[in-house]
Amino acid sequence: MPSNNPHARLLLWGRIVCAALGCWGPAIRSTPASDEQPLEWVQGSCPAWFTAEQRRLLEIAQQLEMPSAEAAVQSWTIPIRPDATVLYLPVPLENEASGSPPYNSFARAWNGARKKLADSVYAAALDAAQAGREETAYRLLWRTLRENPDHERARTALGAAPAGLRVEPRVLQGRAPEPHLGWPPRTYLRAVSPHFELLSR
């Protein structure tokens, strides 16, 4: 009998999908998101408070001439494309003790914003699981780890899958025609790892 506990539903779904895919199958291809999926969360939208904090930290990074911090904040938001599916992978948090005092202060603020956003995304995953939208919930769990790779409940729900992503994918140019999408040679990229293959154009 299905559990009414959304945390339990996420944990069960993570185990089922992990088993079905063998902790990721040989290929994951981009497919359009269905109408029932909350695009604002699945496709990368951020709440207003995060956007405001992102803007504030970007201005600080620019004023203090910290190009790496500026790049991290500026590139974080993913453009929403309703014709594509976004695959999220865990991104390490900033090291809060590796730089100058201003940088360390920035890192603490940026990490704090990411962790708070991760909690919001995880709450959306719970809502999706409770509504029976397991595919959406599963994708939101991965977005949770993208925002905060140390999110304990998301890692528990996903089981062994996140641990298998320690190998950095190789990015290669597609040399042959892509038969499924009809892309000519050398017009797309392939990100290849032991667990999945992604195509991007």
Kindly report, residue by residue over 152-174, the tens digit of the pLDDT. 999 888 876 666 555 667 788 88
Taking a C-beta distance cutoff of 8 angstroms, is the pair 94, 68 a contact? no
* Single-letter amino acid code for the residue at 7: H
Q: Which is nearest to 123 in space by CA: 4, 2, 10?
A: 10
Taking a C-beta distance cutoff of 8 angstroms, is the pair 169, 176 a contact? no
**HSE-CB of 88 using CA atoms within 13 angstroms:** 29
pLDDT of residue 36: 38
Pairing mode, if any, of strands 197-200 and 170-173?
unpaired
> How far is residue 180's CA from residue 197's CA, in Å, rounded to a whole number?
14
pLDDT of residue 25: 30
The torsion defined by the Cα of 47, 93, 135 and 200, in degrees rounded to 10, comes to: 100
Kindly report, residue by residue over 35-66, the tens digit of the pLDDT. 334 445 665 678 888 889 999 999 988 988 88
> How far is residue 53's CA from residue 48's CA, in Å, rounded to a whole number?
9
Taking a C-beta distance cutoff of 8 angstroms, is the pair 121, 144 a contact? yes
Kindly report, residue by residue over 77-133, the tens digit of the pLDDT. 877 677 777 778 888 888 888 778 888 898 899 999 999 999 999 998 888 888 888
- For the chain, the average pLDDT equals 75
